[in-house]
Amino acid sequence: MTLVTIDATPRPIRIDTARTAVMVIDMQRDFLEPGGFGESLGNDVSLLAAAVEPCRQLLAAARKHGLMVIHTREGHRADLSDAPRAKVERGLPAQCIGAAGPMGRILIRGEAGHDIIPALSPAAGEPVIDKPGKGAFYATDLHAILRNHGTENLIVGGVTTEVCVHTTVREANDRGYRCIVAGDCCASYFPEFHETGLRMIAAQGGILGWVSSSQSVLAALSQAPRNVQDQQGEQP
Ligand code: C5J
């Protein structure tokens, strides 16, 4: 057990790093790069770039200190059998889910656009949860993976703040996880939704969880010993 305290709103939170996972939500080319799902919906995808470097630092710190790391990807089967018609029909016909785009078929598993951006590529052994919905618990084995690992706390980043991050945090909160959202590791196509989304999480005494930052998480983890493999690889 390694207890660390993360500075957060509405109040600092003490966690056991052995029971904590870092979750990075949907940092996929389809959301962050031109020609994907995000742009097909009329969004300025460059607004999400701000979250990349904080996420990279969060991942590096989590790996260095031996925290479990989980990635998610939103996407559908090639035959669209897991894509509700109500979701598909909301896009423009030429650019809807499953339509051909410059990064392959939009929001389809196995296509280039569905990949996590290279800067945040999963490391070997890190679970990648493929989810058909906005929440990472819906129709996935995420809850089983977390329970089997003894996870109680989630440090969350990713995109977009008010859609997949919020939905996942709400699902996690109802399942009993403490959610600490690293605000600068999240981003939205709508800066005002990002700000309000974060405020909604921490309001009312932390009704959905805690809001912190990558630097506060890094500072807290620096109180913890580094994982054994990391130390063994170090030069004296
Ligand atoms: C959206 C997501 N915004 N990952 N997905 O459709 O937030």
pLDDT digits 0-9 by tens, 136-150:
999 999 999 999 999
pLDDT digits 0-9 by tens, 189-221:
999 999 999 999 999 999 999 999 999 999 999
> Residue 10 Cα, ligand 1 centroid: separation in angstroms?
26
pTM: 0.94
Residue with the nearest Cα to atom 4 of ligand 1?
A: 164
Note whether 202 and 210 are within 8 A (CB).
yes
184 is catalytic: no
pLDDT digits 0-9 by tens, 45-91:
999 999 999 999 999 999 999 999 999 999 999 999 999 999 999 87
Contacts of 27 (CB under 8 A, 6+ apart): 51, 52, 55, 71, 116, 117, 120, 158, 159
Residue 228 scores a pLDDT above 60: no
Per-residue pLDDT, 236:
37
